[in-house]
Amino acid sequence: MGDVQTFWKGFVLLCKIKVSLSPLCSQGLFGVPELSGPAGFQMAQHQALREAEFLVHKACTHPPGAVTVETFDQLSDSLCRVADLADFIKVAHPDAAFREAAERTCVEIGTLVEILNTNVDLCQSLKNLLGNEAVLATLDSDTRRVAELFMFDFEISGIHLDESKRSKAVALNVKLLDLYHEFLNGSQLPNAIDKQVLPEHIRHCFSIDGNRVQIGGLHADSPNDLVREAAYKIFLYPNTSLLLCLDELLACRHELATLVGYESFSHRALKGTMAKTPGKIIRATSRDFKMMKEMKKKTHTTNPEVMPWDHAYLSSAIRTEMFNIDPSIYSPYFSLGACMEGLNRLFMQLLGVYFQAEQPKMGELWSEDVRKLAVVHETEGLLGYIYCDFFRRPDKPHQDCHFTIRGGRLREDGVYQLPVVVLMLSLPPPSGRTPSLLTPSMVENLFHEMGHAMHSMLGRTHYQHVTGTRCSTDFAEVPSILMEYFASDYRVLSQFARHYQTGEPLPENLVSRLCESKRACSAADTQLQIFYAALDQVYHGKPQYRSTTDILREVQEKFYGLPYVHDTAWQLRFSHLVGYGAKYYSYLMSRAVASMVWRQCFLQDPFSRVMGERYRREMLAHGGSKEPVLMVQGMLQKTPTIEDFVDALVLDLNVHFFLQNTRAEFLAFL
């Protein structure tokens, strides 16, 4: 293992200086030679298409066997290696030409995938395999599952339909790609208003362009009530064209789902997840809402004048007043270098894994402040690479994300294709002699995203189609949310949290206050997540034949404690509707599972190598090659019930209502 202190000092140094690029071998982005310029995306795309044509022919002509699944996976890999990389570059590259070229590539590859998913000959080669019991008996369980997952992709794309309906399914999927692009772009655009409409004393809080005020966010953390109200009403003011886009998006999804034989898009989306059907989601959110509403009454003084624009600010204000949670008190103890040292130590203790700083080649990075880390196991060697795009910069999205650039798989030559991922954060860059200092929420986000990265690094599957985070959405967030528990445990924090100037350790009472503060208003925060999940399910259920705003109003009144505000359309800023359509509930499901895993396996000893190895063996190693429920069962060594999920969420809230009632009484209340 590399020396931890050396690693920390090296990372701190890298965070302070411009990266030195090796001129010995000039390459393109991520080491892909074609991607030294925007035009390279067209070259990479054409190469992937030629390879896909060859692999389709091979799959359709080769006798059924394990090679059939391997060929399908090669086909998936050849397309994903271009599409996944482009999916990241289109949002993160500082050069608009790169972003536009990547966007075009995403559309082209996406269109090809939809066409392949309705290719009858390609599907028949898989049917020949799955219908041959003698051949199936020779396949291992992972190969059989991957074959079934590929067949599922065919089925939900309408492969069983006649030619005209298959063509319609392809057309709908292609149309959806355009609608997704339109909706995502529109959801990020600011709204403008004549500056004379706003009171003069708050105009300076917004961006002014001539006689217009540009409002590009909710300003939810502003201490000024009027600023929050103005931002909420203006930023969420309905955009007619975007409302039509969302209507069309939801209608296309429903038409596609019913065309291929599902009752609704929600039924189609939830097949293969832990939830299985929408009914289970609605029952769980309904139970949780009743629970959270009652607990909120017992733990907070309800103010009928509180409005939706107050939620985030008042929650923060309550935490600050009750526990003196001022981020500036904590930040000096959380330099980025110290936090990376802490993660390095934790992963070494739990999993035998550590980081090594890598020297990037010329042209490999998209920004000079990006860092490249090798992930190494103490006995197994190099596991993969993480590109750390941690710092804020102009035109970079203010969001924390994990991107798979290349999935791991066992190649035809017997060599394992190492996974490559990007962690994108929005941290403050170092300034002068001051390193990058993180707030507690930034530390939590860093640990969260690193949980995704470890899932990608340790998911050593035979097939890239199921590698790492390529699993059901309601399981994919479990490793990342689990890491949040480590980020709140003093035993973990005490290993690395030191004042960057004095070396003083972070006082334990500050960590205790921070943990207690997270429980303040947590019922309301969870209630808000339930509202989002319920809205997502209703939108993707059976058609309502009314406006999305009318649906929003009704669901908000039923599942959220604060009123709908006239002439607002929050759903137009709900960008998760694209990537998490009918699956937003996954956040709550994953949090419940992570809570159970933490309490049963790591609460007693957060550094347990025995539990760390079980965690890798039962949950991380399989990616999506194993049913998510079976992975949870293996980790917990029992089958969790819906009551277990609810109990896990309640225990996290730690509210007196639950503690003062027996479990039987509580379930009767539900």
Instruction: Report the candidate in 528, 419, 513 with the shortest Cα–Cα distance to residue 466.
Output: 419
Contacts (Cβ under 8 Å, ≥6 apart) of 324 = 513
Instruction: Report the candidate in 620, 524, 539, 536 with the shortest Cα–Cα distance to residue 584.
Output: 536
Instruction: Report the candidate in 86, 4, 16, 1 with the shortest Cα–Cα distance to residue 435.
Output: 16
Contacts (Cβ under 8 Å, ≥6 apart) of 436 = 15, 335, 336, 390, 391, 427, 428, 429, 430
DSSP for 153-184? HHHHTTTTS-HHHHHHHHHHHHHHHHHHHHHH
The residues pairing with 416 across neighbouring beta strands, listed in sequence order, are 410
Q: Is 449 a catalytic residue?
A: yes
Instruction: Report the candidate in 229, 235, 228 with the shortest Cα–Cα distance to residue 213.
Output: 235
Q: Helices 40-61 and 120-130, interaxial angle, to 10°? A: 50
> What gap in Å lies between CA 205 and CA 195, rounded to an integer?
12
Q: Which of 103, 449, 484, 618 is catalytic?
A: 449
In contact, 11 and 340? CB cutoff 8 Å: yes
In contact, 336 and 11? CB cutoff 8 Å: yes
In contact, 346 and 607? CB cutoff 8 Å: yes
To the nearest 10°, report the CA torsion of 493, 498, 504, 510.
Answer: -40
Tokens, residue 544: 């309502």
In contact, 493 and 342? CB cutoff 8 Å: yes
DSSP for 66-98? HHHHHHHHHHHHHHHHHHHHHHHHHHH-S-HHH
Contacts (Cβ under 8 Å, ≥6 apart) of 417 = 77, 406, 407, 408, 409, 410, 411, 464
Active centre residues (catalytic)? 449
